[in-house]
Amino acid sequence: MILLDGKKTSEAIQSEIAAEVVKIKEQGGKAPHLAAILVGHDGGSMTYVNNKVLACERVGFDSTLLHYETDITEEELLNKIREINEDANIDGLIVQLPLPKHINPNMVLEVMDYKKDVDGFHPVNVGRMVAGLPAYLPATPYGIMQLLERYNIDTFGKHCVVVGRSNIVGTPISILMSKCTNPGEATVTICHRNTVNLAHHTRQADILIVAVGKPGLITEDMVKEGAVVIDVGTTRVPDATRERGWRLRGDVDFEKVAPKCSYITPVPGGVGPLTIAMLLKNTLRAAKKEVHS
């Protein structure tokens, strides 16, 4: 069994990005610039956005953090996004979710210039991904594809079972795994809350990707020998032995499932660290106009 080390892979990707930024500056170009909008004071969101800003600093990006109170109106927020759309100095834009209930996240997404949508959630980017055109890919699926590629995991003709159909992870990774790419060329089954006899499907998986947020959902008897298991789940569960009183647990019962696997991601330290790295990768691509000329 080999651990898929997301932390190590993320560090390698960020080092590659930093080296490329140095070359861009040496050639007289400007550093990529990421803008982030945060509304309110949700602790998790604030931590996540601050980590993105720090990551920008590490790789030599410029960054702008726009922090608004929860009473900002929808129209005020939309107007700010329109302003950023027109700012040629800003290459990428993210709007941290969740937003207050009076702001429609779909409106926010559709007003955003899809050429700056480095989260990869805009309908145009989703459509381009489905069509096999260059697109900004959602960060978590993008990170999974990087893990598979960098560990030279063969996906050609393999049976990939995805548990979870969210627009953020499950649906996009199922599309990417079925494409004529490397990684890719897999036969994909998508399972969800209404799937009958989930274990029947997971036991057939050469590559099992789980993203539902239910700790320990996938047990030893649900995984076949030699499978590749990608666990996207990160749920806080009580743990009296930890000073903070909790720990992160994945959707897979790691201790019992890992011995059966050829490769498996740990939680934490698997897919999670790659999310910000792939956001940075998308921002670099935006600055270089690689996706939308």
pLDDT tens digit sequence for 93-127? 999 988 999 999 999 999 999 999 999 999 999 99
Looking at the domain assignment, is residue 288 inside a domain? no
Looking at the domain assignment, is residue 151 inside a domain? yes
Looking at the domain assignment, is residue 8 inside a domain? no
Q: At CA 24, angle to CA 20 and CA 28, rounded to 5? A: 165
DSSP calls for 45-82: HHHHHHHHHHHHHHHT-EEEEEEE-TT--HHHHHHHHH
Nearest alpha-carbon partner for 10 in 272, 265, 232, 263: 272
pTM value surpassing 0.85:
yes
Residue 229's identity, in one-letter code, is V
Is the pLDDT confidence value at 293 over 70? no
Bridge partners, residue 210, by sequence: 163, 231
Residue 257's identity, in one-letter code, is V
Q: Which residues are catalytic?
A: 52, 96, 119
Answer yes or no: do 93 and 185 share one domain: no
What pLDDT score does 246 carry?
A: 84
Q: What is the pLDDT of residues 137-188, one digit of tens each?
A: 999 999 999 999 999 999 999 999 999 999 999 999 999 999 999 999 999 9
Looking at the domain assignment, is residue 88 inside a domain? yes
Answer yes or no: do 38 and 85 share one domain: yes
- What is the number of domains present in the chain? 2
Measured between alpha carbons, how far is 119 from 268 in angstroms, rounded to an integer?
A: 22
Q: Is 34 exposed, middle or buried (0-12, 13-18, 19+ CB in 10 A)?
A: buried
Answer yes or no: do 95 and 169 share one domain: no
Range name among 38-47, 192-201, 245-254 with the lowest pLDDT average: 38-47
Answer yes or no: do 144 and 232 share one domain: yes
Answer yes or no: do 196 and 244 share one domain: yes
Answer yes or no: do 85 and 152 share one domain: no
Answer yes or no: do 145 and 255 share one domain: yes
Domain coverage including residue 255: 139-272
Looking at the domain assignment, is residue 74 inside a domain? yes
Is the pLDDT confidence value at 292 over 80? no
